[in-house]
Amino acid sequence: MNSKIMKIEDAMRIEDAPSWREVDRNRAGNLLAAARIKAGPTQAQLAEKNAIRQNMVSE
């Protein structure tokens, strides 16, 4: 057997990977950003319409 092939039980779970934790942490923000982009307004327009600062939309 080829020693370079990893056994499935030795593989890291995707949920344990540092990159996955970062993606999971940003999920809500990514969903909101995608909805805003699909709807069309810029961050500045959305902030003005809601009477908030633009950085509150972008962060």
Give the C-alpha distances (Å, rounded to integers) separating 31 from 24, 26, 27, 55.
11, 9, 6, 17
If one compares 48 and 10, the residue with the highest pLDDT of the two is: 48
Q: Residue 23 above 80 pLDDT?
A: no
How many folded domains does the chain comprise?
1
Round to whole Å and give the CA distance between 36 and 10: 41
When pLDDT is cut at 50, 70 and 90, the band that residue 45 belongs to is very high
Q: Residue 51 above 90 pLDDT?
A: yes
Examine residue 48 and state whether it is found in any structural domain, yes or no.
yes
Residues 11-38, mean pLDDT to the nearest whole number: 81
Question: Given this model, what pLDDT does residue 53 score?
Answer: 92
Examine residue 2 and state whether it is found in any structural domain, yes or no.
no
Examine residue 22 and state whether it is found in any structural domain, yes or no.
yes
Round to whole Å and give the CA distance between 37 and 3: 47
Task: State pTM to two decimals.
Answer: 0.50
Average pLDDT, rounded, for the chain:
82
Round to whole Å and give the CA distance between 57 and 39: 14
| CB-based contact 36:43 (threshold 8 Å) | yes
Tell me which residue range forms the domain holding 51.
14-58
